[in-house]
């Protein structure tokens, strides 16, 4: 809290100037002349949400329990059903008599031997454990999309088709399912999400868009700058702003040719700000959620810098980073937080996404160093951590190259997490898999108030 105040925006005038400058740039792009978003914005239908709370718990329950911050494991369900993938949190109580007693009441051993035939015949966690896993939002949204397409209620671009023609091929059950899904998902409508990160997230972003039938739109300077997708019938937009380390310059000793501009200050003005209009949610000021991360490029930058400085031949990925590197990196992560505060103010949720590692089991020490340094900065700046990187450590089989996690179970997990945080930002409360409170559709729209209900508790989650 305190730090959030310290690095808040320099002043309204600066912010307006920044936005104004960006608007001028937006208008000058012929790229935007297509008004991809604007032309389709009108097709959004109004919400049908009227259902009661789906809860067995009290409506006023604001228990703060982040499933993704608990220790647990990824359960892949069935390999053919990656959409069912979920994080299984180990909630307190799991070591009780029922699940883990060593001895039965009669004194005999509860599980005398590790019986492979038993263990591998059914690898599902017990249903009462599965019931406490976080809600699978991606599954819901993908299912709704499929049904709407099937019933010709939307076209392939995700635009609503006029009633009259619709619903013909749907069974009554499917029609009811659509109704139910629309009620549960009404809060996804009109939302804006910004993700500032590297290509690890660019792919995750693209996979999420893909599940909603949208190929990401690539900004005027290429995919390594800005991409976004907009789902018309949901009026839902997710943008990816591509970052290329926290470096303050583009030194001549190294950089990929795609990365023409490296310092975030310059990328901010040249690439990101021209898309800022697409990021503004219904509060007229900010997106509904911002997630950011920088590490792989920083690691590479430090390794390359050392090679250049010492005239070394190979890349030493095994070198732990040193004090000055880490201090530089931490200051720059803080600087990025300041950029967001300057642009959007304080009233929006900001998350730091935990560092993912390289697929190879070697050459990760610098990433561990950066990951810990970033966690420290996030803690000091009162920013919660989206533990994705931590949770997927070791899943090399799902990488499609040295650093990128592919489309599959882990990208479902990533999307579910993003929606979990978005749900919370809108005032939703989920406790042990129960949707205890839905966002209030007519209620005041104050993201940070919603966020702050559990924020202090979540800042204390074990890391």
Ligand X SMILES: *[C@@H]1O[C@H](CO)[C@@H](O)[C@H](O)[C@H]1NC(C)=O
Positions touching ligand X (CB under 6 A) are 23, 26-27, 32, 41-42, 44, 77-78, 81, 84, 190, 192, 235, 277, 281-282, 440, 442-444
CB-based contacts of 175: which residues, under 8 Å, 6+ apart? 151, 167
Q: Residues 79, 216: contact at Cβ < 8 Å?
A: no
State in angstroms the smallest separation of the CB of 323 from ligand X.
44
State how beta strands 192-197 and 289-292 pair.
Answer: parallel
Q: Alpha carbon of 108 to those of 24, 93, 216, 424: distances in Å?
A: 77, 22, 59, 46
State in angstroms the smallest separation of the CB of 437 from ligand X.
8
State in angstroms the smallest separation of the CB of 70 from ligand X.
21
State in angstroms the smallest separation of the CB of 143 from ligand X.
8
Cα 266 to Cα 446: distance, rounded to the nearest angstrom:
31
State in angstroms the smallest separation of the CB of 413 from ligand X.
14
Cα 299 to Cα 329: distance, rounded to the nearest angstrom:
10
Q: Which is nearer to ligand X, 10 or 282 (CB)?
A: 282
Q: Which is nearer to ligand X, 155 or 177 (CB)?
A: 177
Q: Alpha carbon of 258 to those of 184, 224, 365: distances in Å?
A: 42, 7, 26
Q: Which is nearer to ligand X, 393 or 440 (CB)?
A: 440
State in angstroms the smallest separation of the CB of 276 from ligand X.
8
Cα 49 to Cα 143: distance, rounded to the nearest angstrom:
17
Buried b (16+ CB within 10 A) or exposed e, 177-210: ebeebbbbbbbbbbbbbbbbbbbbbbbbbbbbbe
Q: Which is nearer to ligand X, 27 or 308 (CB)?
A: 27
- Measured from the Cβ of residue 103, the count of other Cβ atoms closer than 10 Å reads 11
State in angstroms the smallest separation of the CB of 210 from ligand X.
19
Q: Which is nearer to ligand X, 26 or 218 (CB)?
A: 26
- Measured from the Cβ of residue 243, the count of other Cβ atoms closer than 10 Å reads 30
Tell me which residue has its CB nearest to ligand X: 443
Q: Which is nearer to ligand X, 46 or 249 (CB)?
A: 46
Cα 110 to Cα 125: distance, rounded to the nearest angstrom:
17
Rounded to 10 degrees, the C-alpha dihedral 370/366/289/261 comes to 100
Cα 54 to Cα 199: distance, rounded to the nearest angstrom:
37
Q: Which is nearer to ligand X, 160 or 463 (CB)?
A: 160
Buried b (16+ CB within 10 A) or exposed e, 133-157: bbbbbbbbbbbbbebbeebebbeee
State in angstroms the smallest separation of the CB of 161 from ligand X.
16
State in angstroms the smallest separation of the CB of 145 from ligand X.
15
The residue written with tokens 């104004």 in the block is 20
Q: Which is nearer to ligand X, 240 or 437 (CB)?
A: 437
CA-wise closest residue to 151 among 171, 168, 172:
168
CA-wise closest residue to 416 among 214, 143, 139:
139
State in angstroms the smallest separation of the CB of 154 from ligand X.
15
Q: Which is nearer to ligand X, 15 or 190 (CB)?
A: 190
CB-based contacts of 161: which residues, under 8 Å, 6+ apart? 152, 153, 154, 155
Q: Which is nearer to ligand X, 281 or 389 (CB)?
A: 281
């Amino acid at each position: 809290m305190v730090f959030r105040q310290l690095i808040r925006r320099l002043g309204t005038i600066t912010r307006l100037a920044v936005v104004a400058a960006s608007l001028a740039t937006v208008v000058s792009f012929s790229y935007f002349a297509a008004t991809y978003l604007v032309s389709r914005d009108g097709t959004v239908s109004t919400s049908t949400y009227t259902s009661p709370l789906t809860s067995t718990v009290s409506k006023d329950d604001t228990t703060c329990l982040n499933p993704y911050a608990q220790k647990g494991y990824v359960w892949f369900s069935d390999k053919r059903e990656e959409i069912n993938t979920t994080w299984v949190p180990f909630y307190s109580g799991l070591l009780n008599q029922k699940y883990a007693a060593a001895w039965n009441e009669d004194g005999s051993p509860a599980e005398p031997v590790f019986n492979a035939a038993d263990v591998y015949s059914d690898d599902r966690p017990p249903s009462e454990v599965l019931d406490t896993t976080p809600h699978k939002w991606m599954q819901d949204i993908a299912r709704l999309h499929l049904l709407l397409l099937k019933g010709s209620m939307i076209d392939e671009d995700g635009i609503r088709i006029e009633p009259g023609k619709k619903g013909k091929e749907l069974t009554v059950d499917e029609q009811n399912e659509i109704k139910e899904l629309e009620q549960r998902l009404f809060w996804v409508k009109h939302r804006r999400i910004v993700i500032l990160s590297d290509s690890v997230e660019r792919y995750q972003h693209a996979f999420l868009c893909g599940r909603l039938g949208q190929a990401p739109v690539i900004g005027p300077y290429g995919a390594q700058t800005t991409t976004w997708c907009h789902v018309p019938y949901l009026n839902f937009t997710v943008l990816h702003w591509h970052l290329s380390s926290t470096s303050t310059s583009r030194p001549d000793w190294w950089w990929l040719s795609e990365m023409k501009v490296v310092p975030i200050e310059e990328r901010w003005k040249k690439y990101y700000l021209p898309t800022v209009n697409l990021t503004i949610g219904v509060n007229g000021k900010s997106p509904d959620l911002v997630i950011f991360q920088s590490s792989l490029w920083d690691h590479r930058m430090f390794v390359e810098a050392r090679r250049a400085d010492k005239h070394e031949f190979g890349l030493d990925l095994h070198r732990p980073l040193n004090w000055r590197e880490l201090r530089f990196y931490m200051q720059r992560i803080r600087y990025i937080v300041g950029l967001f505060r300057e642009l959007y103010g304080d009233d929006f949720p900001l998350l730091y996404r935990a560092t993912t590692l390289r697929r190879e089991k070697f050459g990760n020490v610098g990433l561990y160093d950066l990951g810990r340094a970033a966690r420290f900065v996030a803690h000091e700046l009162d920013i919660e951590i989206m533990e994705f990187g931590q949770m997927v450590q070791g899943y090399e089989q799902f990488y499609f190259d040295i650093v990128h996690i592919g489309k599959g179970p882990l990208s479902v997990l990533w999307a579910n997490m993003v929606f979990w945080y978005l749900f919370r930002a809108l005032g939703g409360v989920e406790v042990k898999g129960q949707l205890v409170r839905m966002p209030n559709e007519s209620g005041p729209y104050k993201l940070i108030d919603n966020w702050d209900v559990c924020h202090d508790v979540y800042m204390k989650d074990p890391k």
